Amino acid sequence: MDRVVAVVTEVNGVLNSFAWGPIMLFLLVGTGIYLTIRTRCIQVTRFGFAMRNTVGSMFRNKSKDHGKNLSPFQAMTTALASTVGTGNIAGVTGAIFTGGPGAVFWMWVSAFFGMCTKYAEILLAVKYRQVEPDGTHHGGPMYSIEKGLGKNFKWLAVIFAILGGIATFGIGNIAQSSEISGAMTSLFGISPLVTGIILAVIVAVVILGGVKRIGQVTSYMVPFMSVFYIIAGIAVIILKITSLPAAFGEIFAGAFSMRAVGGGVFGYAMMIAIRQGVARGVFSNEAGLGSAPIAHAASSTEEPCEQAMWGIFEVFVDTIVICTITSLAVVMSGILNTNALGDFASKGEAAAAAFNMILPGTIGGQVIKISLLFFALSTIIGWSYYGERCWGYLTKENKVVIFVYKIVFVLVCIVGATGSGALMWDISDTLNGLMAIPNLVSLLLLSGVVITLTKQYFSDK
């Protein structure tokens, strides 16, 4: 058995180096660049329009009945629940320790082009979604591929659904359950098993209630946890405001550093910064991976471009705002000058130490742990729906299979909390990266549809 595990681990390591390696990261960012050019930089030229018609619409009184589907805002919060996770804190911190402050700049670059990628993903998901007889909306890359590219590409849609259906147990559950367990033990001294059982009950209550309940829960949880972390982060920056210019200086200098590292080739430091920054940006906002469009397709919105605007807002909040706050706190704290990542039990502990160096006492660490707890829980809830839709597509909406999936997903929370699923997490991380391949194929081949619908929408406006 140990031999089998060793072989699986080795094979997964090779696949992971490709899924999150330079070639795939280049394709992800390259697709964003291509779409940005074809849409005439919509994330800049229509940024004000996007903000007015997304976050601005929340303050306008609308009493529309959304039926069995989600409101546009609930669809966005469900997607944002999945993207705003432990990667925004622990992942970003790890990227900076590994790639230096320059990784932050390349994270911004990936987010800039990622806004357009996610806009296109969501537009296609709404355009080609399945409308069931009872009015329920189902969509995502699997439907975009099958309906947009035709039956000859259905095998590609199936591959995406299989990858997503399995990945949901790792990246969407085990990794997050583990973080929650660590936070609960640190904050309240609760054992991992007890945490896992409590978590399983909470998740069951939410996801067994269907997509409407998921949307209702995330519509309250996501704004609360985001505002909580943003306020804490702004407080950290204000307390070290005199260090802000130097922090930006380190970020820009590190982004283009041509020095060698550890005897490596000239410019190796810049290569590491690019890889870490781009990978962290993509992993955080999921632009190009095809997951978030699944939630957006459940929106009651009839206009694809209108819902797609939430994608621009989503990436902006996730990476440009939340990830930047984490980045500045880590760089401004000075922790990079005194510690290595190996000095901490986890990346989350490193982030907590950085916040503690600025906020009085241990307040910073408590903020990080509470944030990790909510970020991880929201990701579990959001990804549960992604998995449901992938298995629903594969089984033609077989209710028994979907119910069994939900039960298994709930039980996996206990596995993750007790630290029993490390290999499953590693495999799912690889599958998550591989999900981008069929999604990018559909984005590139259907880019003409994106351009046509975008031109029609704005010509009408």
pLDDT by residue (tens digit) across 257-268? 765 444 444 456
Would the pLDDT of 85 be above 90?
no
Q: What is the pLDDT of residue 262?
A: 44
d(C-alpha 307, C-alpha 125), whole Å: 10
Question: What is residue 58's predicted lDDT score, i.e. its pLDDT?
Answer: 64
pLDDT for 331 equals: 92
Which of 2-16, 32-46, 371-385, 402-416 has the lowest average pLDDT?
A: 2-16
Q: Three-state DSSP class for 122?
A: helix
Q: What is the mean pLDDT of residues 111-132?
A: 94
Segment 401-425 shows an average pLDDT of 86
At residue 421, the pLDDT reads: 61
pLDDT above 60 (res 360): yes
Of 2-6, 15-19, 62-66, where does mean pLDDT reach its minimum?
62-66
Which amino acid is residue 410, in one-letter code? V
pLDDT digits (tens, 9 = 90+) for 59-80: 555 556 566 678 888 888 888 8
Q: How many CA atoms lie within 13 A of 149 on its CB side?
A: 23
Rounded Cα–Cα distance for residues 199 and 181 (Å): 9
Mean pLDDT of the chain: 86
Instruction: Write down the pTM of the prediction.
Output: 0.91
What is the DSSP-derived secondary structure letter of residue 65? -
**CA atoms lying within 13 Å on the CB side of residue 452:** 6
Mean pLDDT within 228-249 = 91
pLDDT mean over 356-383: 87
238's tokens:
């204000």
Q: What's the rounded mean pLDDT across residues 109-136?
A: 92
Predicted confidence at residue 59, as pLDDT, reads: 59
Q: What is the pLDDT of residue 43?
A: 94
What pLDDT, on a 0 to 100 scale, did the predictor assign at position 124? 96
Measured over the CA atoms of residue 334, residue 338, residue 340 and residue 341, the dihedral's sign is negative
Confidence of residue 167 (pLDDT cuts 50, 70, 90): confident
- pLDDT at site 65: 57
Class of 19-57+71-455 in CATH: mainly alpha
Contact present, 261 and 41 (Cβ < 8 Å) = no
Q: What does the pLDDT average to over 72-97? A: 84
What pLDDT, on the 0 to 100 scale, is given for residue 425? 65
User: What's the pLDDT at 155?
Assistant: 95
pLDDT > 90: percent of the chain:
41
What tokens appear for 367 in the block? 């903020």
pLDDT at residue 3 in the model: 76
Whole-number pLDDT of residue 259: 57
Nearest 5°: phi and psi at 84?
-80, 95
What is the pLDDT, as a whole number, of residue 53?
82
| Residue 422 pLDDT | 66
Average the pLDDT over each of 98-107, 230-239, 398-407, 422-431 and give the range with the smallest value.
422-431
* Angle (nearest 5°) at CA 354 between 348 and 359: 120
Instruction: Say whether pLDDT at 86 is over 90.
Output: no
Check residue 395 and give its pLDDT.
Answer: 94
Residues β-bridged to residue 299: 70
- Arithmetic mean of pLDDT, 85-92: 82
Q: Is the pLDDT of residue 455 over 90?
A: yes
Does 239 score more than 70 pLDDT?
A: yes
- How many CA atoms lie less than 13 Å away from 131 in the CB half-sphere? 9
Lowest mean pLDDT among 68-72, 195-199, 336-340, 419-423: 419-423
Query: Rounded to an integer, what distance in angstroms lies between the CA atom of residue 144 and that of residue 165?
Result: 17
CB proximity list for 59: less than 8 A, separation 6 or greater? none
